[in-house]
Amino acid sequence: MDHLGRPSGWESERIDAARNRRVIIQTSRTLFEERGVTSVTMEEIARVSGVGKGTLYRRFPHKGFLCQALLDEPTRRFQQETLEILRERETSAIGKLDVFLDRLVTFTAENLDLLYGGNEPLCGADRLERFSHPAYDWRRATVLGLLRAGVREGDVDERLDVEYVAQALLAPLDVDFYYYQHRVQGLPVERISSGLRALVPR
Amino acid sequence: MDHLGRPSGWESERIDAARNRRVIIQTSRTLFEERGVTSVTMEEIARVSGVGKGTLYRRFPHKGFLCQALLDEPTRRFQQETLEILRERETSAIGKLDVFLDRLVTFTAENLDLLYGGNEPLCGADRLERFSHPAYDWRRATVLGLLRAGVREGDVDERLDVEYVAQALLAPLDVDFYYYQHRVQGLPVERISSGLRALVPR
DNA sequence: AAATAAAATGGACTCGGGTCCACTTTAAAG
DNA sequence: CTTTAAAGTGGACCCGAGTCCATTTTATTT
């Protein structure tokens, strides 16, 4: 079972399991849209889906995984499209980094509710999980690669601690931080994007 | 009652209240040191302190406030000393910003456990609280002031969105992020400090 | 088709966070 | 020294997260 509740690898899913998984995801989507991620409880999702709590928790250890499942398709598309754009030959690494960061900002804005809601249950011991998540790894690796290319192309100071900076540039994209700036302070997306890009050391 | 469980302003605290507050704080300190913030429950703190849960929650709505109370004195001293250093006349604004960020990094490292533990209960609805906390305000205002001074002194590009950047520079100091880099990845304090300072746009 | 093992199920249960409120203590007023 | 009201107290109670496991369903083997 992978982290989105799908059968991983070759092993196949029993039909009752598959049915329940579909029902649970559909129920979650509806409930989340109706009342917001935060105010929906796991108990309720189980009840409305017509399954026991054990069944729900077997695949989705907490609400965050449910949000991830709902974000699965948008995330794939986002990564796909981004990779294609970055494959362009003519742009400089620094230019690509600009594009990448801007796209991350936009993606975050577009999926803010699910991202924010999915962050909620990541509290106690597992709140560091998000830093070892594949999607986060992908971001970090991409930024790191572009920074290194920037160094090679002479646009970035070679003395820069690129490993640190790659991560630090992602910190303002942390969902809570972003949510606060955007929803509470009312900072428009464009300002976040250009502000973030201004942080890239040249 | 202020956010550290102390009587705010002129109103005074009843002696039974004062006694319980002292006992609770002392108990917390001991339990936290013995077993780590995370594994101590509010129930336990109440029980060991010999007070009811209601009494505990009256002053400390959650474990985070307890950690804050324990960090109160170090925080004051830190702010005090920092202000004195920043009052120096000879240093440039950019130089002062360097010092300030470095001090923040050190402070975070020195108090990591309480800071990290205190962040734990900030989950559900109130996880944005940390961004409207006085201590955070102080940081943001200081960085903002120094950036503006930097613009005036000609060291910082005047087109920079200083409001955004002031906040963004604090994002990598977010306790979870810091904890992950330092404790999990093993990044030494000096690298975090110099890496962070390299992010300041000139 | 029957037997068997593995996978899946669901609800009872435990646990801690947090609220509530009837009761007690304090301190100020008379 | 009483009275009185406000402040403080503590434990019963509710709620949702998450675990556990006896039972049921599915898939595979014979």
Q: What number of other Cβ atoms are within 10 A of residue B159's Cβ?
A: 8
Residue A20 near residue A55 (C-beta atoms within 8 A): yes
pLDDT at B6 over 60: no
pLDDT in tens, B17-49: 999 999 999 999 999 999 999 999 999 999 999
Interchain proximity B161–A198, CB inside 8 Å: yes
CB B15 within 7 Å, strand C? yes
Burial status of residue A47 (CB atoms within 10 A of its CB: 0-12, 13-18, 19 or more): middle
pLDDT at B156 over 90: yes
Residue B101 near residue B197 (C-beta atoms within 8 A): yes
Contacts of B20 (CB under 8 A, 6+ apart): B49, B51, B55
| pLDDT for A121 | 87
Measured CA to C1', the nucleotide nearest B43 is C16
Residue B94's nearest CA partner among B149, B142, B33, B47 is: B149
The length of chain B is 202
Q: How many whole angstroms separate alpha carbon B190 and alpha carbon A40? A: 43
A123 touches B at CB < 8 Å: yes
Interchain proximity A165–B194, CB inside 8 Å: no
Q: DSSP states of A24-78 as a string?
A: HHHHHHHHHHHH-GGG--HHHHHHHHT--HHHHHHH-SSHHHHHHHHHHHHHHHH
Residue of A nearest to B188 (CA): A164
pLDDT in tens, A84-114: 999 988 999 999 999 999 999 999 999 999 9
Burial status of residue A190 (CB atoms within 10 A of its CB: 0-12, 13-18, 19 or more): exposed
| pLDDT for A1 | 42
Taking CB atoms and an 8 Å cutoff, what residues of chain A touch B127? 119-120, 176
pLDDT at A3 over 80: no
Å: A54 CA to C8 C1': 10
pLDDT at A7 over 70: no
Ramachandran assignment for B50, one of left (phi > 0), alpha (psi -120 to 50 degrees), beta (any other): left
| pLDDT for B10 | 46
pLDDT at B54 over 50: yes
Among B62, B122, B127, the residue to mutate for chain A (most A Cβ within 10 A): B127
pLDDT in tens, A180-194: 999 999 999 999 999
| pLDDT for A2 | 53
Q: How many whole angstroms separate alpha carbon A80 and alpha carbon B198? A: 32
Tell me what the pLDDT averaged over chain A comes to: 93
pLDDT at B164 over 70: yes
A180 touches B at CB < 8 Å: yes
How many beta-carbon contacts under 8 Å exist across A and B? 94
Taking CB atoms and an 8 Å cutoff, what residues of chain A touch B176? 127-128
The length of chain A is 202
Answer with the residue of higher pLDDT: B78 or B120: B78
Alpha helices in chain A (DSSP H): 15-35, 42-49, 53-59, 63-86, 93-110, 112-119, 134-152, 162-170, 175-179, 189-197
Å: A1 CA to C5 C1': 20
Å: B20 CA to C6 C1': 56
pLDDT in tens, A134-157: 999 999 999 999 999 999 999 999
Interchain proximity A168–B195, CB inside 8 Å: yes
| pLDDT for A11 | 64
pLDDT at B65 over 60: yes
CB A27 within 7 Å, strand C? no
B164 touches A at CB < 8 Å: yes
Q: How many whole angstroms separate alpha carbon A163 and alpha carbon A144? A: 6
**Strand D, nucleotides covered by protein (CB < 7 Å):** 7-13, 15-21, 25-27
Measure CB to CB from residue A195 to each of B123, B125, B168 and give the nearest one: B168
Q: DSSP states of chain B as a string?
A: --TTSSPPSS----HHHHHHHHHHHHHHHHHHHHH-GGG--HHHHHHHHT--HHHHHHH-SSHHHHHHHHHHHHHHHHHHHHHHHHT-SSS-HHHHHHHHHHHHHHHHHHTHHHHHHHHTT--TGGGGGGGGSHHHHHHHHHHHHHHHHHHHTTSS-TTS-HHHHHHHHHGGG-HHHHHIIIIIS---HHHHHHHHHTTS--
Interchain proximity B177–A181, CB inside 8 Å: no
Answer with the residue of higher pLDDT: A7 or A84: A84
| pLDDT for A72 | 95
pLDDT in tens, B79-133: 999 999 999 889 999 999 999 999 999 999 999 999 999 998 887 778 898 999 9
pLDDT in tens, A37-92: 999 999 999 999 999 999 999 999 999 999 999 999 999 999 999 999 999 889 99
State if pTM tops 0.85.
yes
**Strand C, nucleotides covered by protein (CB < 7 Å):** 7-13, 15-21, 25-28
Catalogue the long-range contacts made by A83-92 (C-beta closer than 8 Å, 24 or more residues apart): A86/A142, A92/A150, A92/A153, A92/A155
Confidence of residue B1 (pLDDT cuts 50, 70, 90): very low
| pLDDT for B105 | 98
Q: How many whole angstroms separate alpha carbon A59 and alpha carbon A1? A: 8
